[in-house]
Each structure stands twice: as C-alpha cells, then as structure tokens.
Amino acid sequence: MHYFSFHDNALHAEQVSLVEIAEQQGTPTFVYSANTIREHYKRLDDALAPIDHEVAYAVKANSNVAVLSLLNEMGASFDIVSGGELYRVVKAGGDPAKCTFAGVGKTREEIEYALELGIHAFNVESEAELNFINKVAGEMGKTAPVSIRVNPNVDAKTHKYISTGKSENKFGIDFDVIADVFERASKMEHVQLKGLQMHIGSQLTTVQPFRDAVTKVAPLAADLKEKYGIEFFSIGGGIGIIYDPALESGSPDWWDANHPEDMPLTTEKYASELIPILKPLGLKILLEPGRYIVGNAGVMITRCLYEKRGKAKTFKIVDAGMNDLIRPALYQGYHEIVPLTQGGPRSTVKTDVVGPVCETGDFFCQDRELPDFEEGELLALMSAGAYGAVMGSTYNSRPLPTEVLVDGDQATVIRKRQTMDDILAQEIF
Ligand SMILES: *Cc1c(COP(=O)(O)O)cnc(C)c1O
C-alpha cells in the first residue's frame, strides 16, 4: 500500500499535488511519502511481534538523512554496507549500537571507524575478512562483535543481478563450510561471535524461497547458539513490492481482491510462514528490509520534452535519464508511468519513454502501451523510492535531482538540486 493517488484529477503524494511540487522545484524530482514509509515499517514490525526481533532498515535502498531520521524515530535499527552509510546514520541521530555492517569489501578505515563508534556487529562475508577484522581489533585493543554470513545456496527466483544466495554469488560463506569457519572464529582473540546472517536476494515476490532458506539454515543457527552462544539470526531483506500495477496497488481494495497463487507477498504471509520455524530457536531475529520499506514510498516526476515519431517507433523524450533512475537499464526494472493530470478519456500509444542521456540503454520503458501524453506534460515514474536517487550519477554532467519528503500536507525539500558548481567543486583546473 502507499499514499500516492488522484484527487481532483491530479496525482498527489498524501495531501500534496505532485504538479505543484513540479512547478515549485522543477523536474526531475524524487518525491517520498513519509506516512507510507512509517506504515511499511510498522506493518513488518507488527507482523513479527510474536517473536523477539529487530527491523534493521537496509540503508542502501534510500540513504537520505531525512529518511533515516524518520525511520530512527520509528525505532528502526540499520543495516549498513559502508563507512559512509554509518556516517549518515549517525547524522540522522541513529545509534551505532543498532547498526550491523555488511558487505564483502570492508576496508581498514571502515573497520576502524565502526569499531570506534561501537557498532552492533560486522556481518562477515569471508574468512579473509574475519582474519583482518580480528587483526585490526587487536591493534586497537578492542573486541569486534561479528556475525558470519552464510550462503544457503537456494534459488531466490529473482533477477540474476539481485540474486545473492546461490553458491555462484560473491556473498557469504558456503553452507558446507560455515560450521568450520565458526569453529575457527571462536578461537580468535579479538572477535566475539554474536550471530548468523543470510540474505538470499532482492525483490522476492513469493514466500517460498524465504521458507526454503530459513528451513535449511535454522538447524545451523540452533547448533551455533548451543556451541558459541550466538544471540541473533538475521534472515536478511528481500521482501518484494508491487511494481505492476503500482498505482492501483496503493489502495487496500487491491490487496483485498483475489490474486493468483500466493501473490502478492504480504507481511502477514511472510510472518505466518516463518515464525513457526524461527520461534523455537529462541534467538533474536533480525530483518533487513530495504525495498519493502521505501520502494513504493517514492516516485520520480519528470516532464516530457519532445515526441519523436520514427518509422519503427514512437519515442517520448523526458527530462529524466538513466543517471537519475538506473533500474531499467541496470536490471530491467519496471516503473509504471503515470501522467500527473487526468483529463477526460485519452487514447493510448505504443511508446518508448527515453531520457536525454547518450546511451541506447537510457530508457524507462520500451514498446509499452501508454496514455498518449504530450510535450510539456508531467509524469510520475512510480515505485522509485528504493534504489532510485541513491544510484544517481552525474553522467553527461547532469546535476543530481531534488528530493522532497511529503508528510500529510507538508512538502519539504530534503536534498537540493545540484548545481554545475557543485559538480565541479572537486575538479582542479
Ligand atoms: C541489499 C541488502 C538488503 C536489502 O535488500 P532489499 O531487497 O532492499 O530488502 C538486506 N541485506 C543485505 C545484506 C543487503 O545487501
């Protein structure tokens, strides 16, 4: 569910018209709904209420400090993947002791910074990293809290670029050898074993891969608790969202209607399948949702610059590009495209919506039947709250867009549009 809907023929974020935001801030601009973020966090937190748990928001999905502050106020913990993300959490008023630090390539500087601030745990992704953390902690006269990431070798059935839980992925330590790694880690002087972690992939739309992974790994978690007294088991993030239909799925009616098989994945379904397997472990369960919390809580608004009717295709050229929102180019991500104003009935046309960037991959959709919007019209690319602005670049010397947070009838700029001088600030000439 989310709070983007039409009132008086204009698409709104909560009570604020996106047309007004576009007129005041220009385009492209990302707009987030604070109450959608809060509600998603709360739903997941409530669904897991029967067990001891923590919801650790995966900062990489949307790391704007205002978004982190909002989640910090809700009581979230944080899953971070760099020293930079830890810095952001601290700026948002977050407690380092509620941060777990994942990622396969942590540097000495990042490890030292995290140890100094006193994070909850490092999620260790290889034995080499384990040895290095032990060494750095020793040099600092500290003990590093660690959990180790297991790669359960299950198929997440998602796009291969966002699948992480198969043996051929770079993440975690193979299921077959993880017990030996824990054994060796338990003898290290400067690490303290705190937990077991896994994360099998992103945008999972059925509960089955989660159930398979948790069923496979739960006995290991029980064993590690008994042997080394680990305190938590993190089952990762990955809960998928509805990209299609994005707008319609904002309303509770859509969720109440019948859908094929076990689609869509709800927090209730997720919790009711997993809690019976997790509860007997008596461990604290950590969740690391990113996309689920913020994905449908954001849109990117853009203006149509030109229409070009070629021999083979109709192109609508908009003022946002792959540098602003790279998901379609990077992993065939789908974003519903909705004109911000709804007049009377209009015809549809098969269109490629493309950006101004000089790359063939710079498109938001290809051959999609869309309302025949015109030059100058404003559009929303739905479900752009996760892996949107955070992946932005200044390729083609395009300044990063504005970000706005809407809370009820208030719209606040939470990131100003970059200027060309911002882009050039570090260049020496
Ligand atoms: C990216 C990531 C997540 C979040 O994934 P979502 O699909 O956005 O929920 C959680 N845990 C780890 C370790 C990650 O790398």
* Residue 359 marked ligand-binding: yes
- Residues of the chain below pLDDT 70: 162, 260-262
- Out of 123, 202, 233, mutate this one to test ligand 1's pocket (max ligand atoms within 8 Å of CB): namely 202
Beta-strand relationship, 99-101 and 144-151: unpaired
Question: What is the DSSP secondary structure assignment for residue 1, as one 8-state letter?
Answer: -
Per-residue pLDDT at 73 = 98
Tens of pLDDT, residues 121-132 = 999 999 999 999
Q: How far apart are CA 191 and CA 211, in angstroms?
A: 31
Cα–Cα distances (Å) from 197 to 20, 110, 256, 384, in that order, read 44, 20, 34, 28
Q: How far apart are CA 81 and CA 140, in angstroms?
A: 22
| Ligand 1 atom with the shortest distance to the CA of 292 | 9
Instruction: Tell how far the Cα of 164 is from the centroid of ligand 1, in angstroms.
Output: 9
The closest alpha carbon to 171, from 207, 191, 201, belongs to 201
Contact 352, 360 (CB under 8 A): no
Per-residue pLDDT at 260 = 67
Copy the structure tokens of residue 51: 């067990």
Amino acid at 335: H
What is the number of other CB atoms lying within 10 angstroms of the CB of residue 369? 10
Out of 1.10.260.40, 3.30.470.10, 3.40.50.1820, 3.20.20.10, select the CATH number for domain 34-294.
3.20.20.10
Q: How far apart are CA 165 and CA 145, in angstroms?
A: 23
The closest alpha carbon to 236, from 266, 213, 268, 206, belongs to 213
Q: Whose CA is nearest to atom 10 of ligand 1?
A: 237
Ligand 1 pocket (Cβ < 6 Å) reads 58, 60-61, 79, 81, 102, 199, 202, 236-239, 288-292, 386
* Residues in the chain, overall count: 429
Copy the structure tokens of residue 163: 């699948």
Q: Is the pTM of this model over 0.85?
A: yes
Instruction: Tell how far the Cα of 291 is from the centroid of ligand 1, in angstroms.
Output: 8
Q: How far apart are CA 174 and CA 160, in angstroms?
A: 18
Burial 342-351 (b: 16+ CB within 10 A, else e): eeeeeeeeeb
Cα–Cα distances (Å) from 297 to 17, 34, 132, 245, in that order, read 15, 7, 39, 14
- Out of 62, 79, 197, 327, mutate this one to test ligand 1's pocket (max ligand atoms within 8 Å of CB): namely 79
Beta-strand relationship, 10-13 and 4-7: antiparallel
Sign for the CA dihedral angle at 30, 33, 38, 43 comes to negative
| Ligand 1 atom with the shortest distance to the CA of 60 | 1
- As annotated, the active-site residues are 358
Instruction: Tell how far the Cα of 373 is from the centroid of ligand 1, in angstroms.
Output: 36
Beta-strand relationship, 191-197 and 232-234: parallel
* Residue 309 marked ligand-binding: no
The closest alpha carbon to 162, from 192, 195, 199, 112, belongs to 199
The closest alpha carbon to 149, from 113, 177, 117, belongs to 177
Q: Whose CA is nearest to atom 3 of ligand 1?
A: 237
* Residue 387 marked ligand-binding: yes
Amino acid at 203: Q
The closest alpha carbon to 166, from 153, 178, 180, 183, belongs to 153
User: Where are the domain boundaries for CATH 3.20.20.10 in the chain?
Assistant: 34-294
What is the number of other CB atoms lying within 10 angstroms of the CB of residue 224? 23
* Residue 327 marked ligand-binding: yes
Amino acid at 100: T
* Residue 346 marked ligand-binding: no
Q: DSSP per residue over 351-392, as a string?
A: EEEE-SSSSTT-EEEEEEEEE---TT-EEEESS-TTTTGGG-
Tens of pLDDT, residues 348-400 = 999 999 999 999 899 999 999 999 999 999 999 999 999 999 999 999 999 99
| Ligand 1 atom with the shortest distance to the CA of 61 | 8
Fold exhibited by the domain 4-11+296-424: Lyase, Ornithine Decarboxylase; Chain A, domain 1 (2.40.37)
Per-residue pLDDT at 262 = 61
Ramachandran quadrant class, 43 (left: phi over 0; alpha: psi -120 to 50; beta: rest): alpha
What is the number of other CB atoms lying within 10 angstroms of the CB of residue 289? 25
Beta-strand relationship, 337-339 and 378-381: antiparallel
SS3 366: strand
Instruction: Tell how far the Cα of 169 is from the centroid of ligand 1, in angstroms.
Output: 14
| Ligand 1 atom with the shortest distance to the CA of 81 | 15
Instruction: Tell how far the Cα of 289 is from the centroid of ligand 1, in angstroms.
Output: 6
Q: Which residue has the tokens 């945008």?
A: 203
Per-residue pLDDT at 10 = 97
Q: How far apart are CA 369 and CA 363, in angstroms?
A: 15
| Ligand 1 atom with the shortest distance to the CA of 387 | 8
Q: Which residue has the tokens 């867009």?
A: 401
Instruction: Tell how far the Cα of 151 is from the centroid of ligand 1, in angstroms.
Output: 14
- Out of 37, 55, 60, 163, mutate this one to test ligand 1's pocket (max ligand atoms within 8 Å of CB): namely 60
* Residue 103 marked ligand-binding: no
User: Where are the domain boundaries for CATH 2.40.37.10 in the chain?
Assistant: 4-11+296-424
Contact 402, 415 (CB under 8 A): yes
